[in-house]
Amino acid sequence: MEARLDYFGHPLAAKVLKHINSANKVVVDSTLPHTVQELVKLRASQINGCGFCTDMHSKDAAHAGETQQRLNLVAAWREATVFTEAERAALELTEQGTRIADAAGGVTDEAWENAAKHYDEDQLTALVSLIAVINAYNRINVINQTPAGDYQPGQFG
């Protein structure tokens, strides 16, 4: 399988990715726990069917010390007992924020209020921003049919 475009090598795409990467860096440097960040990126990528990002974020999370059991259960987090209440709140917000078109009314007040119990305003801002950023990355890679499987942890710095 080959990508439709050499997105990582195209000058216009490089400009676009520079800005998305800058937004991502702000989130990475925020007080939102890195474990939560990886879970959110992985779950959104699974929902969006982005093989490239699912590969990347599962490998990055494992490299950072996440257990294989938790990674295996992200897709079924509601039935899993291995996630904290804060992680579950972030995963719910991620699902609703990623599936906006599928949900009448978008993100529910209940999901928002639950997340707000666990995260302060800066962390909520980072969480919302992360959900938006990972969805942008997912859409670029799905549209471009970026192949999955060859990512190495830390490949992009």
Contact 90, 36 (CB under 8 A): yes
| DSSP annotation of 101 | G
The answer to whether 53 and 137 have CB atoms below 8 angstroms apart is yes
**Tens digit of pLDDT for each residue in 12-29?**
999 999 999 999 999 999
Residue pLDDT, tens place only, 73-113? 999 999 999 999 999 999 999 999 999 988 767 899 999 99
CATH superfamily entry for domain 33-144: AhpD-like (1.20.1290.10)
Residue 31 one-letter amino acid: T
- For the chain, the structural domain boundaries read 33-144
pLDDT in tens, 42-85: 999 999 999 999 999 999 999 999 999 999 999 999 999 999 99
Are 98 and 48 a contacting pair, CB within 8 Å?
yes
For every residue of 27-93, DSSP letters joined together read HHTSSS-HHHHHHHHHHHHHHTT-HHHHHHHHHHHHHTT--HHHHHHGGGTTT-SSS-HHHHHHHHH
Which pTM was predicted? 0.95
